[in-house]
Amino acid sequence: MSHANAVLTPRSRLRLARLIVEDGYPIAVAAKMFMVSEIILEILR
């Protein structure tokens, strides 16, 4: 379970993954949209 201020809740991670995988957004662009670092996205990969 995520805490109330978590940027990447399970639902947000799903939206982010869909942007990258299904919509073809580059990781750098998707990271900016969700206000997280590219490094975090690489870790979640």
**Summary mean pLDDT of the chain:** 87
Domain ranges, residue 12:
8-34
Could you give the percent of the chain with pLDDT greater than 70? 91
Q: Which residues contact 37 (CB under 8 A, 6 or more apart)?
A: 31
Does 16 reside within a domain?
yes
Closest to 36 in 3D by CA, of 13, 3, 4: 13
Confidence of residue 1 (pLDDT cuts 50, 70, 90): low
Percent of the chain scoring above 90 in pLDDT = 44
Residue 44 counted as domain residue = no
Tally the domains of the chain.
1
| CA 33 – CA 1 distance, rounded (Å) | 23
Residue 40 in domain? no
Q: Tell me if the pTM is above 0.85.
A: no
- Separation of alpha carbons 19 and 2, rounded Å: 21
Higher-pLDDT residue of 43, 20: 20
Q: Is residue 38 pLDDT above 70, yes or no?
A: yes
